[in-house]
Amino acid sequence: MALGHGVLLLLLYFSLFTDALYKQWIPDTNFENSTNWDKGSIPCGSDQVAFAAGRRVSVYVEESHWIAGMSLPVDGELILALSGSGFALTETEDPDCGSGVIAQFKDSESLKWFDPSLWVAASTSDDLHRGRYQFSVHEESVPCQFDDVEFREASSFRVDISSDRDVSVKTVSVLGNKFTQNSDFGQYLASKSGKLQFHGSASLNVGASGCADITGCICDNSRNRDKICANVKCESLACKYPLHPVGHCCGVCGAIVNLQFSSAFNFESYRQRLLHLFLSQHKYASVHMAMSKVSKQQKLLEWVFFRSSQEIQVLLLDGKSGNLADSLTQDIVKDIHSHGSNIGIEQAEFQTSSGASSNHRQGSEPGVVVGAVVGVLVIVAFLSVLVLLSRRRVLKMPFLPSLRSMKNSGDIGELGGPLDHGFDNPMFDKPTMMPEEPELYAADKIKAVTLTPSGVHFVNPVYDEFDFNA
């Protein structure tokens, strides 16, 4: 019975959804939300209502309020939701309210679009409204370009979109109006309410296309990583080997399963499969899962040729210890071994914060590959120098000087000119680009593989103008 239900659900999801999410902004500037008042309660009949004079704010009012007085901000608006909402001045002291205080409306000036803690996400609009939120890595907690963004229907807000780039999303809903066209939304942004609700240096655009790839889409928020992570405070961790998932600002305890997928893979149906088969089990109740498509420059040989691969990252977060994630990982990998080919998963690798990992990541293989790559590079460089020298008929020298001294003395500069942009090998120059393979950057490995730690730049005509008939 339960299984049949699950299968039906999986089929449904298979046809309906892709990887885009609905994301809702949490804070509001509603008069009736007690968290917006400095005293923690909504002003009552004897209270003076105070809005900070220098601030701009759009306040949503649903009910009618008796108050003793109100000081307004320089620029602001009160959105009276219903015909009955509004304010009336109390003439005598309200006995239920005491002698009255000055109730200060809290400042929402500093609430940032790029703060991942201010958003909730769900895979359908229905889930969003029922509070069935899903967990995401920090970068994906903030709206991605293919997401639908929602500001709660009966609410106003103020959000700071400061960024050096414009922000694009698929749609934005404000006060129950869903904007899908950038021209309409632009008009709204220019309105009184729009200007009070959205501020900051970047403009917000709607109309970006959704995610049409059934195998998932990569959220482009990695370019906003610094802004996003600036709002995140990482907790201290109790596990032995904290993991560093792609797209997350902090180290975590738990497990990461990386999947290589085929075109038969369906992102959302696999997410549902994991939820129904495993995460719904009682023993895994405390585990959070975040699934994302990520771009990885993982294979060294591919790296040299500047290609990156896409894979699916399944992050399993498990409180402080990380032990549950270990057994969940085993369940997931077992499932892939028996059903992977049917659901479009070609290979799975994992790491857990207790130190377990699939063989592929542990063995000596990376070392062997590095050796091979360096070998190839040395040969290519040597041949290139020979070719260059012979073409310029300067092959008189009995012994080749070291590449480095040639470069320094300007010999190659003269030959190379614009050619001399060398061979930027990110393996040596940009170690931060490969954080998931920290073992490659252990000091001893670097010594073993780099020719000079300061970075030799090979002049490599093979890529620029090599001519075998020359």
Ligand X SMILES: *[C@@H]1O[C@H](CO)[C@@H](O)[C@H](O)[C@H]1NC(C)=O
Using the contact rule CB under 6 A, the part of the chain among 28-36, 169-177, 333-341, 431-439 near ligand X is 28-36
Q: Which is nearer to ligand X, 50 or 120 (CB)?
A: 120
Q: Which is nearer to ligand X, 60 or 267 (CB)?
A: 60
What SS3 class is residue 4?
A: helix
Site map for ligand X, 395-424, x if CB under 6 A? ------------------------------
Pairwise CA distance, residues 42 & 38, whole Å:
9
Radius of gyration (C-alpha) of the chain in whole angstroms: 29
Using the contact rule CB under 6 A, the part of the chain among 25-33, 355-363, 375-383, 453-461 near ligand X is 25-33
Q: Does residue 33 bind ligand X (CB under 6 A)?
A: yes
Q: Which is nearer to ligand X, 141 or 313 (CB)?
A: 141
The residue within the footprint of ligand X, chosen from 8, 26, 379, 386 (CB under 6 A), is 26
Cβ at position 158, least distance to ligand X in Å: 11
The residue within the footprint of ligand X, chosen from 35, 162, 180, 191 (CB under 6 A), is 35
Cβ at position 35, least distance to ligand X in Å: 4
Which residue in this structure is represented by tokens 């307004």?
72
Pairwise CA distance, residues 198 & 58, whole Å:
10
Q: Does residue 27 bind ligand X (CB under 6 A)?
A: yes
Q: Does residue 28 bind ligand X (CB under 6 A)?
A: yes
Which residue in this structure is represented by tokens 């369940």?
331
Using the contact rule CB under 6 A, the part of the chain among 23-31, 53-61, 301-309, 319-327 near ligand X is 23-31
User: Helix 2-16 vs helix 267-274: angle between axes, to the nearest 10 degrees?
Assistant: 160
Pairwise CA distance, residues 285 & 298, whole Å:
32
What SS3 class is residue 169?
A: coil
Q: CA angle, corner 217, sides to 26 and 263, nearest 5?
A: 145
Using the contact rule CB under 6 A, the part of the chain among 22-30, 249-257, 392-400, 458-466 near ligand X is 22-30
What SS3 class is residue 135?
A: coil
Residue 11 in tokens: 């089929």
Pairwise CA distance, residues 412 & 169, whole Å:
49
Residue 306 in tokens: 């500047």
Q: Total number of residues binding ligand X (CB under 6 A)? A: 5
Kindly list the residues in this chain that would bind ligand X in the complex (CB under 6 A).
26-28, 33, 35
